[in-house]
């Protein structure tokens, strides 16, 4: 809500924040429903304090995932933070660490406070100022249901509220009531700049998938998710959704007994990935997993396995059978083709960072293929439904030490967006993340978090460049011997006038020769 291009916010040509808070006594909570349409990290919350009658005391914030079955929405671990004292106007409250979000999937940011709150009625419904929702970069805030950009598969209201509960990270604190398709002035901030050493999976920080028993009668299968990588990556994990109890649905009763990565072309297991007795761990804590713990993983972080770019793989899990009633997996269908509640998330395939899972038509013989039933571990080469059994992988791009090339930097643009105010904001208890424009380092506009000043942006543009793993050391203005102006790859010796050890792109050492001066 930055007020730019007609988006709501300070100085907007559309809706501006309220000049006074709405009177109320008791606990109040509000939530904003949104999705990201590109690979993005959630970095924090923006909250508007309208006046001194609205509390400036420490305030809690949390993030939830929202599935088609609204009864099974779940809190996102790592998203619960508390501010300090809040100032007048906009306040930024940062997460302890950025959270990679699942693309397309709806999330709701939630906060709670006592007494007065900011409120603007009649904004997100049909015929209202933001009937098409609010979009800023990869961040899409849905409209109300029945308007032009309704929430994906969600029947609950866009901006919502609840009264009586103080904790935004528990179910009773999740807001579900509507009031005239209002704006509650809770904003979110995301960035597409990867943190150092970022890992990627298809369904990160998504603590929900289908329930136990859907398509599972206890039979044994090898189930495989087909994927490929846009660049070579180190394998960190094979992930699997071990469904917890939800409503009348019980938790699963066992974990897979084997896992590995298959090469689709050769139909052989990738060396170093076959684990005939995996020690499953819980996400995110890493302790020993039990059936029904949600996302669990087999740890490959010390294996040294590097998966190649452009190769078709299948991440596979296996359980023995038959074992009547001993549920171990989910089967959400249709997912990878049209015709179901989840189709919007999978009929075009799934992508996050370098990881792509093709849809049913783009896979061999179809997405989420299998081997079975009740057979030994084997290549999953059969298919009959475009289902998702929620196997996944986590990978980290394999990098070469040294400066990134200008081409690599261009391939991963570094932008950070929210709908927060562009300037003149008040600081809450946490500064906004530092951003960088090549060799100039500054804070986001309106926040005195750094001393250098970034070059001015053209009017109406609310995009800042942030330090990312593809930015060379010279571009980050840190001490390093770099070539030219820092836009070309390569590390050279001394001040750049003496011969240096260079090889390839300059990331590694190599033999030196004479006459390397310019």
pLDDT per residue as tens digits for the range 398-425: 974 333 333 333 344 444 556 655 444 4
The whole-chain average pLDDT of the chain stands at 81
Which 8-state DSSP code applies to residue 454? Answer: P
| CA neighbor of 510 nearest in space, from 502, 518, 172 | 502
> For the chain, which domains are there?
4-191 (2.60.120.820), 221-397 (2.60.120)
Q: Which long-range contacts (CB under 8 A, 24 or more apart) does 445-448 make?
A: 446/90, 446/421, 446/422, 447/92
pLDDT of residue 107: 96
Mean pLDDT of 431-458: 31
Q: Which H/E stretch holds residue 406?
A: helix 406-411
Please classify residue 111 by burial: count the beta carbons closer than 10 Å to its beta carbon, then call 0-12 exposed, 13-18 middle and 19+ buried. Answer: buried
Q: How confident is the model at residue 246 (pLDDT cuts 50, 70, 90)?
A: confident
Q: Which of 518 and 323 is assigned the larger pLDDT?
A: 323
Mean pLDDT of 140-145: 96
Q: How confident is the model at residue 232 (pLDDT cuts 50, 70, 90)?
A: very high
Residue 46 has which token pair? Answer: 């923006």
Residue 434 φ/ψ region, left for φ over 0, alpha for ψ in the -120 to 50 degree band, beta for the rest: beta
Pick the range with the lowest mean pLDDT from 18-32, 169-183, 241-255, 348-362: 241-255
Mean pLDDT of 174-188: 97
Mean pLDDT of 79-93: 98
Please classify residue 116 by burial: count the beta carbons closer than 10 Å to its beta carbon, then call 0-12 exposed, 13-18 middle and 19+ buried. Answer: buried
Please classify residue 204 by burial: count the beta carbons closer than 10 Å to its beta carbon, then call 0-12 exposed, 13-18 middle and 19+ buried. Answer: buried
Q: Are 110 and 174 in contact (CB under 8 A)?
A: yes
Residue 51 has which token pair? Answer: 């006046």
In degrees and rounded to multiples of 5, residue 159 shows phi and psi of -80, 130
Q: Which residue has the tokens 């993005």?
A: 40
* Nearest 10 degrees: Cα torsion 202, 208, 211, 217: 30
Question: Which residues, other chains included, contact 280 with Cβ-Cβ below 8 Å and sequence gap of 6+?
Answer: 240, 242, 255, 256, 288, 289, 296, 297, 298
Distance CA(125)–CA(347), nearest Å, equals 28
pTM of the model as a whole: 0.79
Strands 41-49 and 416-418, by their bridges, are unpaired
pLDDT of residue 331: 86
Mean pLDDT of 103-113: 96
pLDDT of residue 215: 59
Mean pLDDT of 270-283: 98
Distance CA(432)–CA(176), nearest Å, equals 29
Q: Are 109 and 116 in contact (CB under 8 A)?
A: no
Q: How confident is the model at residue 493 (pLDDT cuts 50, 70, 90)?
A: very low
Residue 121 has which token pair? Answer: 């009625």
Distance CA(263)–CA(454), nearest Å, equals 47
pLDDT of residue 481: 33
């Amino acid at each position: 809500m930055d007020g730019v291009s007609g988006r709501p916010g300070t100085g907007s040509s559309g809706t501006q924040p309220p000049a006074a808070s709405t009177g109320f006594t008791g606990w109040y909570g509000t939530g904003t429903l949104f999705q990201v349409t590109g690979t993005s990290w959630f970095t924090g919350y923006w909250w508007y304090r309208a006046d001194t009658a609205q509390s400036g005391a420490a305030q809690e914030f949390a993030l939830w995932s929202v599935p088609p079955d609204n009864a099974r929405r779940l809190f996102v671990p790592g998203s619960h933070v508390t501010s300090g004292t809040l100032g007048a106007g906009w306040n930024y409250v940062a997460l302890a660490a950025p959270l990679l979000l699942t693309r397309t999937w709806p999330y709701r940011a939630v906060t709670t406070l006592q007494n007065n709150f900011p409120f603007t009625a009649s904004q997100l419904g049909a015929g209202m100022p933001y009937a098409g929702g609010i979009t800023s970069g990869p961040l899409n805030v849905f409209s109300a249901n029945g308007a032009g950009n309704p929430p994906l598969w969600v029947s609950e209201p866009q901006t919502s509220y609840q009264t009586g509960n103080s904790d935004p990270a528990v179910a009773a604190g999740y807001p579900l009531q509507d009031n005239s398709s209002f704006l509650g002035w809770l904003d979110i901030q995301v960035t597409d700049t990867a943190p150092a050493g970022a890992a990627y999976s298809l369904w990160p920080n998504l603590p929900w998938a289908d329930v136990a028993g859907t398509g599972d009668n206890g039979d044994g299968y090898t189930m495989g998710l087909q994927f490929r990588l846009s660049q070579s990556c180190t394998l960190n994990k094979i992930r699997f959704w071990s469904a917890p109890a939800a409503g009348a649905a019980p938790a699963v009763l066992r974990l897979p007994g084997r896992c590995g990565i298959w090469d689709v072309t050769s139909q052989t297991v990738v060396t170093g990935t076959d684990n005939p007795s995996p020690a499953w761990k819980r996400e995110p804590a890493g302790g020993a997993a039990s059936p029904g713990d949600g996302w669990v993983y087999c740890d490959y972080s010390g294996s040294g396995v590097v998966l190649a770019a452009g190769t078709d793989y299948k991440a596979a899990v296996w359980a023995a059978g038959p074992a009547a009633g001993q549920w171990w997996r989910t089967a959400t269908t249709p997912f990878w083709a049209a015709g179901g509640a989840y189709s919007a998330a999978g009929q075009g395939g799934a992508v996050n960072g370098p990881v792509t899972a093709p849809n049913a038509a783009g896979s061999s013989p179809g997405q989420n293929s299998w081997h079975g039933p009740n057979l030994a571990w084997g290549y999953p080469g059969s298919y009959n439904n475009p289902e998702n059994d929620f196997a996944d992988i986590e990978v980290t791009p394999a990098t070469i030490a040294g400066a990134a090339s200008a081409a690599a930097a261009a391939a991963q643009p570094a932008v950070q967006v929210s709908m927060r105010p562009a300037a003149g904001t008040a600081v809450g208890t946490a500064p906004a993340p530092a951003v960088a424009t090549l060799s100039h380092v500054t804070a986001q506009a309106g926040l005195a978090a750094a001393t250098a000043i970034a070059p001015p942006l053209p009017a109406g543009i609310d995009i800042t460049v942030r330090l990312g793993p593809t930015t060379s050391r010279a571009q980050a203005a840190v001490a390093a011997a770099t070539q030219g102006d820092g836009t070309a790859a390569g590390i050279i010796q001394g001040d750049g006038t003496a011969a240096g050890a260079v090889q390839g792109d300059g990331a590694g050492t190599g033999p030196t020769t004479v006459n390397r001066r310019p």
